[in-house]
Amino acid sequence: MPVPMSDSEYQRLETLQAFDVLDSAQEKLFDDITELTAYLFNVPVARIAFVAGEQVWHLASTGMGAGDPLPPEQSICTRAVRRAEPVLVYEDLREDQEPVPDLMQEREVIFYAAALLSSSSGHALGTLCVAGSELRTFSPNEQEVLLCIARLVVVALERRRKLRASHSPEAWEQVRANVETSLAQQMVLVRYLKARTPDTIPVPQEVLDLVCSRLEDVMRVAEQ
């Protein structure tokens, strides 16, 4: 017998539906964000995932093809949304009490960290997640920066929804282009500093601080 959906889950899914991201085409801005995230944290995989009732949809994915939607039980992002913690970290998934999804075992995923993508109304829509096949520490400062990048994703999505709802899709295209340009410009120095210590784990504090300050500028562009 199906388990009745709670009011909070119903509201969460309604909010997610309003963002019109499920089964949508990939957009360069979000691809750029996952590419930057993977590069910054020295991980092979970064993804923007949305957890719906019967699927997990990837709006953007670096290091692993987005592919078809995943069943919720095959994605750790479902677990992250269910727990509703700002950041969920598994430095070694094999040590967790919950079983690792079969697909994650096939892909040899050991490390996983996810920052919630939470709407302005407080609903957890999905995650910005990073993953890899090696043990990986993920410091509190790195978690804060992952949250900062996740906030940029949400700010852009909120702006996208508002402009599309006002029947101004061309206005969103202009905003998106502006944000893409700003992100590229603001990350030039970050990439330079990161290149000086390319494989350092955890990521040096000077780089993390710079990322957050630069992303604040990008968010202001998205909100204009």
**DSSP line for 25-63:** PP-HHHHHHHHHHHHHTT-SEEEEEEE-SS-EEEEEEES
Residue 206's SS3 state is: helix
Tokens 């960290």 appear where? 113
pLDDT band at residue 168 under the 50/70/90 scheme: confident
Mean pLDDT of 113-122: 94
Q: Which two tokens stand for residue 142?
A: 């790195």
pTM higher than the cut 0.75 = yes
CATH number of the domain where residue 212 is located:
3.30.450.40
Give me the pLDDT at residue 86, please: 95
pLDDT, average across residues 97-101: 83
Per-residue confidence (pLDDT) for residue 89, from 0 to 100: 96
> Is 188 within the bounds of a domain?
yes
Structure tokens at 175: 């905003």
Residue 2 lies in a domain: no
What pLDDT is recorded for position 166? 84
Q: Is residue 100 part of a domain?
A: yes
Mean pLDDT for 136-149 is 96
pLDDT at site 26: 82
Give, for 174, the enclosing helix (H) or strand (E).
helix 169-196
Residue 221: pLDDT over 80: yes
Q: Who wins on pLDDT, 118 or 224?
A: 118
Q: What pLDDT does 4 receive?
A: 67
Sheet containing 124-132: order of strands: 56-62, 45-51, 124-132, 111-118, 87-90
Give the number of domains in the chain. Answer: 1
In the 8-state DSSP scheme, what is residue 217?
Answer: H
pLDDT at residue 80 above 60? yes
Mean pLDDT of 70-74: 87
Query: Would residue 1 count as lying in a domain?
Result: no
Compute the average pLDDT of residues 132-152. Answer: 95
Say what the pLDDT of residue 3 is.
55
Structure tokens at 159: 């702006």
pLDDT at position 71: 87
Q: Which tens digit of pLDDT belongs to each residue from 171-190?
A: 999 999 999 999 999 999 99
Please list the alpha-helical segments (H only) found in 60-136: 76-83, 102-106
Can you give the pLDDT at residue 1? 43
Q: Is residue 114 part of a domain?
A: yes
Q: What is the span of the domain harbouring residue 46?
A: 7-223
